[in-house]
């Protein structure tokens, strides 16, 4: 019998397409507006993974014509110094988006810093004002990873209306906002998490299954409804007995690909979409600000 393999939801290809579209729009608008869009990524300390993420974001900005106003602070930087830097960027008319790269050193309060960012410049879409707008179904900046998932589903014309969508994970970064976005698209939404009893019974009902828990290969083929759409938000580094490390998601890709109709790869699925939505948010603010001028 021929082994069935799920079709890939290619986030990398879609992110490249979005970047091309943004680059074309920015090239056209910049002469009229007199400046490019601007994004400021603030990083504290020397976390190598964070440094790699920040470099990736700045490269993506350069590719589409967004100016970077990033700042790299030493580990011992105080809360007050960072707040002052954010306030300065809030006032800077060249800057359309601000984000603080997480995680921060332990002595800093990330939530309090997030509250200092002006909601209109909240490129990550995580400010309580923007979360509230999502809750109410009002226009506003949307959290990048869940917005990226929704854009990927839209690109592949995956129907959501009336479908059973299950989100495994309830973080403020992904699980909660994604559940609200799916509700807004008329899906019937279940949110499961680490305390849910009989997780397999819950996930097996899902037409659209989204894993966002940060547990390597938690979702196996036995937990997936045949023909489901599986989106893997997880990104976990695992090391085998030989000491070789590789990235895996929250879904056991090889086994689930034999059951699902669509699946996202890790890497190359949701990750590139998160960066694409960050650029899109920065561009949206740029458009809005310039219309007021």
What are the extents of the domains in the chain?
Answer: 35-118, 143-271
Among 10, 19, 101, 232, the active-site one is 101
Among 10, 120, 122, 124, the active-site one is 124
122 is catalytic: no
CA distances from 98 to 50, 69, 124 (A): 16, 9, 8
CA distances from 9 to 169, 249, 272 (A): 20, 14, 12
Tell me how far apart the alpha carbons of residues 198 and 239 are, in angstroms, rounded to a whole number: 28
Check residue 121 and report its DSSP letter.
G
CATH number of 35-118: 3.40.50.10860
Binding-site members are 169-171, 235
How far apart are the two ends of the chain, measured CA to CA in Å? 64
Asked: is 143-271 a CATH 3.40.50.720 domain? The reply is yes
176 is catalytic: no
Among 19, 57, 225, 250, the active-site one is 57
Binding-site members for NADP(+) are 169-171, 235
**Nearest Cα to Cα of residue 35 among 3, 71, 65:** 65
Domain 35-118 and domain 143-271, same fold? Reply is: yes
Which pLDDT does position 3 carry in this prediction?
60
Residue 10: CB partners within 8 Å, gap ≥ 6? 265, 268, 269
Rg (CA), the chain: 20
Which pLDDT does position 293 carry in this prediction?
47
For the chain (293 residues), the mean pLDDT of every run of 10, in chain order, is 79 98 97 96 93 94 97 97 98 97 95 96 96 96 98 98 98 97 98 95 98 96 98 92 91 97 96 97 91 59
Residue 11: CB partners within 8 Å, gap ≥ 6? 148, 152, 264, 265, 268, 269, 270, 271, 272, 273
Per the rule left: phi > 0, alpha: psi between -120 and 50, beta: everything else, 157 is: left
101 is catalytic: yes
pTM, full prediction: 0.95
Q: Do 182 and 207 meet the contact criterion of CB atoms below 8 Å apart?
A: no
């Amino acid at each position: 019998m021929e082994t069935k393999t799920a079709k890939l939801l290619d986030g990398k290809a879609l992110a490249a397409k979005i970047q091309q579209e943004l680059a074309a729009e920015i090239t056209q608008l910049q002469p009229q507006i007199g400046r490019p869009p601007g994004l400021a990524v603030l990083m504290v300390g020397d976390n190598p993974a964070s440094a790699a993420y920040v470099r990736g974001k700045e490269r993506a900005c350069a590719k589409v014509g967004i100016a970077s106003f990033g700042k790299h602070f030493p580990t011992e930087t105080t809360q007050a110094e960072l707040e002052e830097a954010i306030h300065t960027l809030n006032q800077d008319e060249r800057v359309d988006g601000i984000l603080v790269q997480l995680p921060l050193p332990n002595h800093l309060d990330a939530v309090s810093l997030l509250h200092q960012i002006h909601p209109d410049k909240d490129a990550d879409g995580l400010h309580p004002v923007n979360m509230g707008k999502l809750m109410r179904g009002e226009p506003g900046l949307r959290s990048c990873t869940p917005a990226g998932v929704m854009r990927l589903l839209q690109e592949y014309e995956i129907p959501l209306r009336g479908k059973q969508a299950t989100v495994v994970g309830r973080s403020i970064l992904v699980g909660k906002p994604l559940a609200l976005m799916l509700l807004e698209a008329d899906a019937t939404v279940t949110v499961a998490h680490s305390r849910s009893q009989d997780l397999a019974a819950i996930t097996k009902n899902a037409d659209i299954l989204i894993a966002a828990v940060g547990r390597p290969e938690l979702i196996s083929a036995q937990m997936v409804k045949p023909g489901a759409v599986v989106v893997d938000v997880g990104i976990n580094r695992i090391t085998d007995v030989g000491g070789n490390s590789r990235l895996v998601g929250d879904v056991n890709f090889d086994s689930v690909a034999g059951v699902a109709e669509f699946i996202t790869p890790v890497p190359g699925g949701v990750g590139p979409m998160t960066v694409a939505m960050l650029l899109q948010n920065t561009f949206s603010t740029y458009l809005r600000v310039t219309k007021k001028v």
